[in-house]
Amino acid sequence: MMVSYRLYWTLWTLSCFGQYLGQDLQIPAPPSKEEGDSVVFTPDNPPPSTSILVTQWFFGTTAIITVASGVATVNPAYEGRASVDSSTLALTLQKLRHSDSGIYRLTLQITAGGSRTGETSLQVEKLSVNLTGPEEPLIEGESSANITSKGNGIITSVQWMKDNSPLSPSNSIIFSPDNRSVSISPVQRSDSGEYQCTYTNPFNSETATYSLIINYGPDDVSIKGQDVVDLGDRVSLSCSANSLPSALFRWMFNGTDTGVTTDTYTIDKTDFTHSGDYDCTAWNNVTNRSATQRQSLLVKVGGGGGGLTTGAIVGIVIGVLVAVSGICGLIVYLIKTKKM
């Protein structure tokens, strides 16, 4: 009689729970989430709650929450974020982070002495930001620039910086209402630099950079070199200008193109024909602007090696004339004295 009772109990147990033993739990994967979102993992075919002794949810090998005898024990790392529905066995996870991406596993210990397991996965999109800006060359005083930010994730604040200093609005710098783009019009050379946009939420922050280059000039053209030299001396005139990109140069002499296109004009040995006006023209091939500076050069007689300058020669001539006049006066005086 005892054997029959045990057999009956075994058959009843198998008829009630056998359909669940050895079967995998099916847990549909939720769609991708963003940081700050919530997600619910719900198994499709859970056994009756009355047959479950222990319910455990894992992330990888880390236990998230364990439910035994109706009491839930939550891993301190998930405190306030994780909970389980006792009837559906669904796990709710709140305030998602990018680090929550991975494999989740549900394990059940049931009264029939077996266990059931199911897995699913979650992808949490990381907060991201990227910047786009003008593709054409920007010219000082003429062009406008728009820098726009785009990204993924829950965004609670947007901050703009330029060269690691806060970027503030001005007459020429205007931010969009959502603060996700900035417009500069017209651009100035001082607007060149690295622009940074930072997206922030309670869980993370991400920064993107964009380098803005403003083309300008040429201006402040100057020529360095001698303006008066001795006959036969070597002369070097150097031209410079503020320009981005660097200026190209051309030299003119007394209105005639010299064919010299470097920043330095050199005369190895001067003669009188080199006296005149030297014009340096600086040209920017992006802004298509140019500017010219002039320097006059005088080649004079004499110079080093014991030669005399024109002033010295004039002085000597005057001195000789004075001496001759004095001698003539002295002779006249002596003649008169002798006659007397």
Is there a domain that residue 275 lies in? Answer: yes
pLDDT tens digits along 251-287? 999 999 999 999 999 999 999 999 999 999 999 999 9
Position 305 confidence tier, pLDDT thresholds 50, 70, 90: very low
List the structure tokens of 48. Answer: 């009756």
pLDDT tens digits along 141-180? 999 999 999 998 889 999 999 999 999 999 999 999 999 9
In the block, residue with structure tokens 């209105």? 255
Longest CA–CA span in the chain (Å) reads 190
pLDDT tens digits along 45-60? 888 888 899 999 999 9
* Residue of 149 and 8 predicted with greater confidence: 149
Contact 199, 131 (CB under 8 A): no
| pLDDT confidence of residue 176 | 97
In the block, residue with structure tokens 């140019």? 290
Is there a domain that residue 296 lies in? Answer: yes
List the structure tokens of 115. Answer: 């266990």
When the pLDDT of each residue in the chain is averaged and rounded to a whole number, the result is: 87
Is there a domain that residue 289 lies in? Answer: yes
pLDDT tens digits along 190-215? 999 999 999 998 888 999 999 999 99
Q: Which domain holds residue 279?
A: 217-300
The last residue of a domain, from among 90, 125, 160? 125
Is there a domain that residue 174 lies in? Answer: yes
In the block, residue with structure tokens 């990204």? 151
Query: Letter for the amino acid at 115?
Result: S
What's the burial of 256, exposed, middle or buried (CB within 10 Å: 0-12/13-18/19+)?
Answer: exposed
CATH code of the domain containing 57: 2.60.40.10
| pLDDT confidence of residue 315 | 58
**Does residue 30 have a cis bond before it (omega within 30 degrees)?**
no
pLDDT tens digits along 81-116? 999 998 899 999 999 999 999 999 999 998 877 889
Pair 116, 40 in one domain: yes
The last residue of a domain, from among 167, 196, 212? 212
Would you list the DSSP string of 40-103? EE--SSPPPGGGEEEEEEEETTEEEEEEETTEEEE-GGGTTTEEE-TTT--EEE-S--GGG-EE
Residue 224 Cα distances to 159, 208, 221, 240, 276, angstroms: 47, 44, 10, 8, 16
Residue 104 CA to residue 121 CA, distance in Å, equals 6
Is there a domain that residue 270 lies in? Answer: yes
* Cβ contacts of 244 within 8 Å, gap of 6 or more: 189, 192, 213, 214, 215, 216, 217, 284
The last residue of a domain, from among 125, 152, 182? 125
List beta partners, residue 68. Answer: 54, 71
Pair 202, 242 in one domain: no
Contact 109, 21 (CB under 8 A): no
* Residue of 227 and 35 predicted with greater confidence: 227
130 has a pLDDT exceeding 80: yes
> Which H or E run includes 251?
strand 248-253
| pLDDT confidence of residue 326 | 64
Say how many domains are in the chain. 3
Is there a domain that residue 102 lies in? Answer: yes
pLDDT tens digits along 320-331? 565 656 676 666
Pair 194, 136 in one domain: yes
Pair 182, 196 in one domain: yes
Is there a domain that residue 79 lies in? Answer: yes
Helix (H, G, I), strand (E, B) or coil at 154: coil
Residue 104 CA to residue 119 CA, distance in Å, equals 6
Closest CA to 128 of 167, 108, 155, 106: 155
List the structure tokens of 36. Answer: 């700050």
35 has a pLDDT exceeding 50: yes
Contact 149, 199 (CB under 8 A): yes
Residue 123 CA to residue 118 CA, distance in Å, equals 17
Phi/psi at 267 (nearest 5 deg)?
Answer: -120, 115
Is there a domain that residue 1 lies in? Answer: no
Pair 190, 256 in one domain: no
List the structure tokens of 131. Answer: 């910047």
In the block, residue with structure tokens 């989430």? 33
